[in-house]
């Protein structure tokens, strides 16, 4: 058996606007896969536990100011610092559920006016997700759901721009999920979709790189 046909974990990414339900769905999917006895971990970006992540966290909570390019590169660095650990976990058979990834990086920064291709460039070479679940919800409807917090970017007009930029990133790994339905309906579709991908990775689908 060559290395490319070895069983591995799946990289499943959740993307969507703030208040689209990503965090709830990530938690439900984690419990579901754990219940099936599947090795699985839940990750999120930004990972605020690292020193780069703490700089990002200070920026998001308006405790520091950074140039738009600089914060973009910090978000990317925060993914790069986890890349080798990600590869090791996937190859060891652990499925990773990831709350936000490079698509958030590009959609949020380009919505601020940064060049789209410039935003994509530092993400090239990160591990490509097997599946991107895009929780699709009209920005107005997301805003009605219990309101936004105090962090930077949690404003309706900005979220509308982010939604437009997300749509430019859709590729063959994406599944668009209508997230304006009930939590239970969304959960059902998420579970059905993910199961298929977990099996194909167990059958030895090779890892690939993002945007390179």
Write each residue from 2 to 31 as x if it is in contact with ligand FDM (CB under 6 A), else as -, in one continuous string.
----------------x-------------
Rule CB under 6 A: choose which of 9, 21, 53, 105 binds ligand FDM.
105
Of the candidates 96, 93, 100, 118, which has an alpha carbon nearest to the alpha carbon of residue 211? 118
The CB-of-175 to ligand FDM minimum distance in angstroms stands at 19
Q: Does 60 bind ligand FDM (CB under 6 A)?
A: yes
Q: What are phi and psi of 136, to 5 degrees?
A: -90, 125
Q: Does 153 bind ligand FDM (CB under 6 A)?
A: yes
Of the candidates 199, 177, 211, 193, which has an alpha carbon nearest to the alpha carbon of residue 10? 199
**Cα-based angle 190, 194, 195 (whole degrees, multiple of 5):** 120
Q: What are phi and psi of 181, to 5 degrees?
A: -80, 180
Please report, as residue ranges, which positions from 121 to 140 form the binding site for ligand FDM (by CB under 6 A). Answer: none
Question: Which range of residues in 29-37, 97-105, 173-181, 186-194 is near ligand FDM by CB under 6 A?
Answer: 97-105
If the CB atoms of residues 108 and 197 are measured against ligand FDM, the closer one turns out to be: 108
Distance of CA 182 to the CA centre of its chain: 21
Structure tokens at 63: 């405790």
Rule CB under 6 A: choose which of 108, 134, 166, 197 binds ligand FDM.
108
The CB-of-108 to ligand FDM minimum distance in angstroms stands at 3
Rule CB under 6 A: choose which of 14, 43, 75, 134 binds ligand FDM.
75
How many residues form the binding site for ligand FDM (CB under 6 A)? 10
If the CB atoms of residues 46 and 129 are measured against ligand FDM, the closer one turns out to be: 46
Contacts to ligand FDM by CB under 6 A: 18, 45-46, 60, 75, 100, 104-105, 108, 153
């Amino acid at each position: 058996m060559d290395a490319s046909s070895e069983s591995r974990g799946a990289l499943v990414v959740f993307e969507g606007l703030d208040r689209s339900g990503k965090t709830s769905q990530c938690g439900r999917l984690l419990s579901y896969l754990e219940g099936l006895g599947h090795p699985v971990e839940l990750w999120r970006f930004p990972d605020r536990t690292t020193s780069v992540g703490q700089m990002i966290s200070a920026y998001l909570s308006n405790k520091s100011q950074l140039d738009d390019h600089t914060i973009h590169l910090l978000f990317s660095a925060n993914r790069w610092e986890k890349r080798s650990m990600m590869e090791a976990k996937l190859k060891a058979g652990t499925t990773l559920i990831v709350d936000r990834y490079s698509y958030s990086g590009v959609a949020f920064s380009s919505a601020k006016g940064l060049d789209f291709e410039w935003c994509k460039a530092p993400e090239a070479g990160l591990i490509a997700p097997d599946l991107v679940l895009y929780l699709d919800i009209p920005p107005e409807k997301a805003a009605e759901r219990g309101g936004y917090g105090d962090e930077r970017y949690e404003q309706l007009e900005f979220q509308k721009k982010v939604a437009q930029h997300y749509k430019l990133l859709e590729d063959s790994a994406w599944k668009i999920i209508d997230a304006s339905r009930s939590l239970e309906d969304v959960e059902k579709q998420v579970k059905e979709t993910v199961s298929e991908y977990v099996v194909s990775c167990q059958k030895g689908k090779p890892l690939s790189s993002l945007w390179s």
